[in-house]
Amino acid sequence: MTLILIALKFLLIVFGSIIAGFIGSLTGLGGGTVLVPVLTLFYGIPFIFAAGASLISTIATSAGSASAYTKKKIANIKIGIGLEIATTTGAIVGSLTLIFIDKHSLIWSVYVIFGLVLLFSLIPTIKKIGKEIPPETKPDWSTKLFQLTGSYYDERLRKTIKYHGIRWWLGEIVMFFAGFVSGLLGIGSGALKVLGMDWAMNLPMKVTTTSSNFMIGITAATGSSIYWYEGYINLFIAAATAIGVLIGAFFGAKVLVKISNENIRWIFFAILSFLGFDMVFKGLHLINFIITFSLMIQFFISIIISIVLISLLYYNSKRKEWRDNNEKSR
């Protein structure tokens, strides 16, 4: 009887991980960003076990979907490996920081940081919504030195797109933080990697999301090995999440190549904002700071805040589009 209950528990984690993996792969986030909140908020798993299971499963998402993208030659492996210098260094510093925080019983702060990282990573995303291919820029010194050029075939636009990256140094700085966040929070931190390549280096969205997907695995491998020796990986949970996330990522990758970039960004935004608010509330709840109402009420407040926010921003972006169209037709 208890074995059946445990099996059910296992399958529930697999199910949650499938959803997390699907969304993670679709957005280039890598699963963990959705998985950690799901495991901690809905399954009551301690943060460090959630982070451990999530980080190691992130490798599965990354490897699973990256194998599809690299074959299609969208991901830029050279730029990716170059930027991994910063992400792996960041991952080492980040996971050591988490160990410090855990040993000093400051885990509530990781929830708040988790939520804030999610919410702040939205700002640049909202600003650029609707731009599929980045604005034209002149190559700078780093473009030539670090060979930041490439091309890929866009299935939806039906043409080969040539691109070049700029500001390699700024990309490396953002990537260090991406790695740090990955090690600290047990996520792939694809959002920050996308930020580094999209905003800092001005690469096209499709190259950014696919290369980030490939880089996440290397960053997560660095953090995971440190997590392993520190005992942050519960094998029961990690086995379930690794399988689930992989299944989810498989379907996510099938869909990604076919949908428009604008849709990716809106899904991105909607889910992140809800999870972000809820994680902040949970962290503050743990130390009874200001917010002391129950988890259920926190949950609904987070949903309401994010729905209102997304609707407003969606309306705002559509209104701009109408105005542009009207001006064109005149």
List interacting residues with another protein (CB under 8 A).
2-3, 6-7, 9-10, 44-46, 48-49, 52, 56, 59-60, 62-64, 66-68, 70-71, 73, 77-78, 81-82, 84-85, 88-89, 91-92, 95-96, 99, 145-147, 214, 217-218, 220-240, 242-243, 246
Q: How far is the CB of 68 from another protein (least distance, A)?
A: 8
Q: How far is the CB of 224 from another protein (least distance, A)?
A: 5
Closer by beta carbon to another protein, 227 or else 268: 227
* Helices 107-120, 261-286: inter-axial angle, 10-degree rounding: 150
Closer by beta carbon to another protein, 145 or else 290: 145
Q: How far is the CB of 243 from another protein (least distance, A)?
A: 6
Tokens 């428009």 belong to residue: 260
Fill in the DSSP letter of residue 290: S
Distance CA 220, CA 328 (A): 47
Closer by beta carbon to another protein, 6 or else 267: 6
Q: How far is the CB of 78 from another protein (least distance, A)?
A: 5
Given a contact cutoff of 8 angstroms between Cβ atoms, the answer to whether 33 and 187 are in contact is: yes
Closer by beta carbon to another protein, 243 or else 272: 243
Task: Give Cα 102 to chain centroid, integer Å.
Answer: 23
Q: How far is the CB of 221 from another protein (least distance, A)?
A: 5
Closer by beta carbon to another protein, 45 or else 205: 45
Residue 147: is it exposed, middle or buried by C-beta count within 10 angstroms (0-12/13-18/19+)?
A: middle
192: Cβ contacts below 8 Å, ≥ 6 apart: 117, 121, 174, 175, 177, 178, 181
Fill in the DSSP letter of residue 38: I
Closer by beta carbon to another protein, 81 or else 259: 81
Q: How far is the CB of 288 from another protein (least distance, A)?
A: 20
Distance CA 160, CA 158 (A): 7
